[in-house]
Amino acid sequence: MRHQYLKNVVTLKLNTERCTGCGQCLEVCPHQVFILSEGKTVINDKDRCIECGACVKNCPFNALEVNPGVGCASAIIKRWLTGTEPNCDCSDGSCC
């Protein structure tokens, strides 16, 4: 899948100090957000993240953080499913 969503709104964060480069996040990410570089995970394309939370649930070292089911990525998916206007629930209006 080569989907991209809105720029710079994803809640995904990587703690490189905790990452051991085990590759679990690469295995479970449906949109290939991560790559391995020099033995560590790197966020290759943050804007492809759909905030599903699979990487967080599968990281044995708690190196990843994401708020699944929130933000603009979730709003876009809900729009696809329901045909309604997207509402990313950004209280300050900065992400939409």
pLDDT for 23 equals: 96
Residue range 3-11: average pLDDT? 71
Tell me the domains of the chain and their CATH numbers: 13-82 (3.30.70.20)
Residue range 70-87: average pLDDT? 70
Secondary structure (DSSP) of the chain? -----STT----EE-TTT-----HHHHH-TT--EEEETTEEEES-GGG-----HHHHH-TT--EE--TT-HHHHHHHHHHHH-PPP----TTS---
Q: Which residue has the tokens 């649930």?
A: 57
> Mind listing the pLDDT tens digit for each residue in 18-73?
999 999 999 999 999 999 999 999 999 998 888 889 999 999 999 999 987 666 66
